[in-house]
Structure 1
Amino acid sequence: MVRQPAKRDPEAEGRSRRAGVGKVCTMVCVVLAAACDTAVRSGESAVEIVVDRLEAAPAGSTTYTTVLESDVLTSGTPHADLGRIVLRARLRDPGSSDAPTAPSAMNVATLTRYRVAFRRSDGRGVEGRDVPYAFDGSVTVTVDESATPIGFTLVRPQAKLEPPLRTLVGRGGASVLSTFADVSFYGRDARGRTVAATASMTVHFADWEEP
């Protein structure tokens, strides 16, 4: 018995092709929409974060300086050293002298986290051996064109219980570990674009003699 070829249904084939094209179009639209959203959020912000000042106070002190002498043991206990940074948001395109760009409510940035990392001038930088471990912290501060001071932890008390800082205990000021602390703040502007600012300061660790 010879089988007869199946009859073609042009209308059904047309529906199938249209459905396939519709799926492809939908996928393309979704991809393009996602790409556009990513482009908007990762594009360059209209503002930049400017660091006016970075300073810190040793444990138990309220005096802030631009160079920190961190005591690894204060009154027999490790305490945190506090930092303070002054930030402001500045327009990337201020306009011309004849037609300056005026800041608006959209020209602000909200900072949500910061990171502190330590390094040495001799290039040795193994965390937990040569320098304290880097760490992240959380903040919620909105910055505009006015100078905004932000307090944060620069040296954690836990770091003073770990190498290399704990090896300084009992040695007095005769044994000093000199480092640079790189402090970075991150956030987004009012349009959702990322912003960041980084500053550095010198930190000398030792078991300093207490007054």
Structure 2
Amino acid sequence: MNGFAKTIAIGALVASTVSCGDVVRSGKSPSFLVVDLLQGQRGGGTDSAGVPLLSDVLTIKTSPAPCTTEIPCPTIFNDVGQVALRLVPKDVGSATAPSTNNDVTISRYRVVYKRADGRNTPGVDVPHPWDGAVTGTVPVGGTLTLGFELVRHSAKQEAPLAGLVSSPTIITTITEVTFYGQDRVGNDISATGTIQIDFGNFGDF
């Protein structure tokens, strides 16, 4: 084997070792993280959280001052989400009772917008995917409810959502939200939920 071939072989071995290590570590948690409920709430209004989320790209406010019916204020609001998380043991027949070492602390999440028709180019067909930070601990035997940002202000100022301000078009997305965390001994764990979001210039409150 010449030197070039040896280099390739060693590189492949290192790459495969790193990949396997990541897979093993990610799968070491004794529990599954489960998304029990994922809802959205329209920004700037009084709607309660629910599904689907009607995300208004521009809201015309006539109050409070200085906004009036004569001089309304075009306003962009972000939209928030709410998720309920719990843990399910992988080995339901185990004689060992779970401990607080199995509690999982969520530290971040990722939002990816997709369309059912397959047109998913970020910044053209759908908003760009993005990562956010949120912190909460899912206790063993309990649940955690977290609030988080689901649609950012900036997304409504960029294509394709900005173009909906002067268009009757509605963009419907099946949005994936993945939550990432670790248990108390450092095992990585994640779970993904989906929510339908309809983007458009809807009627104002």
Query: TM-score, normalised to structure 2's length?
Result: 0.78
* 2:93 counterpart residue number: 95
* Number of residue equivalences: 172
Q: State how far apart, in whole Å, the 2-side matches of 1:135 and 1:86 are.
A: 21
Q: State how far apart, in whole Å, the 1-side matches of 2:26 and 2:80 are.
A: 32
Find the residue that maps to 2:199 and give its secondary structure: strand
* 1:52 counterpart residue number: 36
Q: Which runs of 4+ in 1 moved over 3 A?
A: 38-43
List gaps (5 residues or longer) in structure 1. 1-34
TM-fit CA distance, 1:44: 2.0
Contact 2:122 2:128 (C-alpha < 8 Å) held by counterparts: yes
What letter is aligned with 2:190?
Answer: A
Q: State how far apart, in whole Å, the 2-side matches of 1:63 and 1:139 are.
A: 21
Q: State how far apart, in whole Å, the 1-side matches of 2:123 and 2:144 are.
A: 33
Q: State how far apart, in whole Å, the 2-side matches of 1:107 and 1:156 are.
A: 33
* 2:69 counterpart residue number: none
The partner residue of 2:134 within 135, 139, 164 is: 139
Change (3 A) 1:103 1:120: same
CA deviation vs aligned residue, 1:101-122 (integer Å, no higher than 9, x gap): 5331112111111000100001
Find the residue that maps to 1:106 and give its secondary structure: helix
* 1:187 counterpart residue number: 181
Q: State how far apart, in whole Å, the 2-side matches of 1:65 and 1:180 are.
A: 15
Q: Aligned-residue CA RMSD in angstroms? A: 2.1
CA deviation vs aligned residue, 1:37-75 (integer Å, no higher than 9, x gap): x58744421011111100010012350002101000122
Q: State how far apart, in whole Å, the 2-side matches of 1:198 and 1:85 are.
A: 11
* 2:100 counterpart residue number: 105
Query: TM-score, normalised to structure 1's length?
Result: 0.76
Find the residue that maps to 1:59 and give its secondary structure: coil
Contact 2:55 2:197 (C-alpha < 8 Å) held by counterparts: yes
Task: Report the identity percentage.
Answer: 42
The partner residue of 1:86 within 59, 84, 87 is: 84
What letter is aligned with 1:183?
Answer: V
